[in-house]
């Protein structure tokens, strides 16, 4: 696999260097830890801090979501690997405005351990109150009755968006956590993989798929999904994804949703819009109202081919959160 890089061991540091140099008005590095990035804008006293984090290789996730209206800081991990407690703690110290900090991340064993350790340290050593909310939106990753075991994929974007808005509205730590968990409870995603990505350090494909194959329910680190099969038409794949989601969460006629059709890194917008077209048809047939739509690369997996569909069922509170303006280097909503 060809990549534009220098030494693979420097790729994360060099990406961060380029990112903060390109957007100095929005994001800066904390001097104590190069993997700890925080907003360069002054945030309000007593605003709950929002910390997002995870492995790198998912850009715009996660550092792309630091900015006004969304996250105040990000801890950046190695490629597809949770950040260690150190950068998480440094970000926490930097973004605490006296009202505590909420950690938002996907439900992966490594993230749970590292964020958990950082939260303990923040409490013990720094006296900072930490709340947490985990994304578990991937319906393909565990049965409904084991939702707490599910991994977080593109739906993390909606959870960050909702929690970031709640913090901006001046909600307390408990309230921000409540909104984040509510966003997660109302969000479902499912993906399809068409081609693997390769880690810069190994150059080897993360999984093997035949030229004419697809993997339904694929995870965004290339974790195997529910089944492998012959590639089908965009409509038929989209039907499968949306139907599995709608079997998992009850969304009735007249209810509103936010829709995200997310590319995994190397899928053209053309194909994402073909999928969106079908999502709209299905929801329209069922009388479900699309309140807002997002189509593009929001949480990727390096150059993986494929896409995911996410639906978030809205109520008044989530609707207000999803409407809230955001200004991040990789995502702007007016």
Q: What residues are labeled active site?
A: 58, 221
Q: Are strands 331-333 and 326-328 parallel, antiparallel or unpaired?
A: antiparallel
Task: Tell me how far, at minimum, the Cβ of 77 lies from another protein, in Å.
Answer: 5
C-alpha 305, offset from chain centre? 17
Site string for another protein, 26-65 (x = CB under 8 A): -----------------------------x----------
Which part of the chain contacts another protein (CB under 8 A), choosing from 97-105, 135-143, 288-296, 316-324?
135-143
Subset of residues 68 to 97 that bind another protein, contact rule: CB under 8 A? 77-86
Q: CA 122 to CA 100: how far, in whole Å?
A: 10
For helices 109-126 and 85-95, angle between their N-to-C axes, nearest 10 degrees: 50
Instruction: Determine if 113 is a binding residue for another protein (CB under 8 A).
Output: yes
CB closer to another protein, 134 vs 295: 134
The encoded tokens of residue 298 equal 């929001």
User: Within 13 Å of residue 169, how many CA atoms lie on the same side as its CB?
Assistant: 19
3-state SS, residue 213: strand
Instruction: Determine if 105 is a binding residue for another protein (CB under 8 A).
Output: no
Which part of the chain contacts another protein (CB under 8 A), choosing from 108-116, 187-195, 290-298, 307-315?
108-116
Site string for another protein, 153-182 (x = CB under 8 A): ------------------------------
Q: CA 334 to CA 273: how far, in whole Å?
A: 21
- Residue 318: φ, ψ to 5°: -70, -30
Site string for another protein, 178-217 (x = CB under 8 A): ---------------------x-xx-x-xx----------
Judge contact between 8 and 205, C-beta under 8 A.
Answer: no
C-alpha 288, offset from chain centre? 24
Task: Tell me how far, at minimum, the Cβ of 6 lies from another protein, in Å.
Answer: 16
Task: Tell me how far, at minimum, the Cβ of 225 lies from another protein, in Å.
Answer: 8
């Amino acid at each position: 696999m060809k990549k534009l890089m220098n030494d693979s061991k420097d790729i994360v540091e060099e990406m961060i260097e380029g990112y903060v140099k390109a957007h100095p008005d929005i994001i800066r590095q904390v001097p104590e830890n190069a993997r700890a990035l925080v907003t360069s804008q002054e945030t309000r006293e007593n605003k709950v801090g929002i910390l997002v984090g995870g492995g790198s290789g998912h850009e715009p996730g996660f550092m792309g979501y630091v900015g006004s209206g969304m996250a105040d800081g990000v801890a950046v991990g190695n490629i597809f690997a949770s950040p260690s407690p150190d950068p998480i703690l440094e970000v926490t110290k930097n973004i605490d405005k006296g009202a505590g900090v909420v950690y938002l991340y996907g439900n992966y064993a490594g993230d749970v351990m590292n964020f958990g350790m950082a939260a303990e340290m923040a409490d013990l050593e720094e006296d900072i109150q930490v709340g947490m909310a985990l994304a578990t939106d991937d319906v393909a990753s565990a049965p409904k009755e084991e939702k707490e075991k599910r991994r977080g994929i593109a739906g993390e974007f909606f959870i960050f968006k909702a929690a970031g808005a709640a913090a901006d509205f001046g909600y307390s730590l408990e309230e921000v956590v409540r909104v984040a968990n509510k966003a997660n409870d109302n969000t479902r995603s499912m993906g399809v993989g068409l081609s693997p990505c390769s880690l810069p350090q190994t150059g080897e494909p993360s999984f093997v798929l035949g030229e004419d194959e697809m993997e339904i329910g694929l995870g965004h680190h290339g974790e195997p999904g529910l089944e492998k099969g012959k590639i089908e038409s965009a409509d038929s794949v989209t039907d499968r994804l949306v139907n599995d989601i709608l079997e998992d969460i009850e969304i009735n006629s007249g209810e509103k949703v936010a829709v995200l059709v997310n590319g995994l890194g190397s899928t053209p917008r053309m194909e994402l819009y073909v999928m969106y077209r079908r999502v709209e048809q299905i929801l329209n047939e069922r009388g479900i109202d699309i309140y807002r739509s997002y189509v593009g690369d929001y949480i990727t997996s390096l150059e993986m081919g494929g896409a995911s569909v996410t639906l978030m069922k809205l109520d008044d509170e989530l609707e207000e959160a999803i409407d809230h303006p955001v200004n991040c280097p990789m995502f702007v909503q007016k």
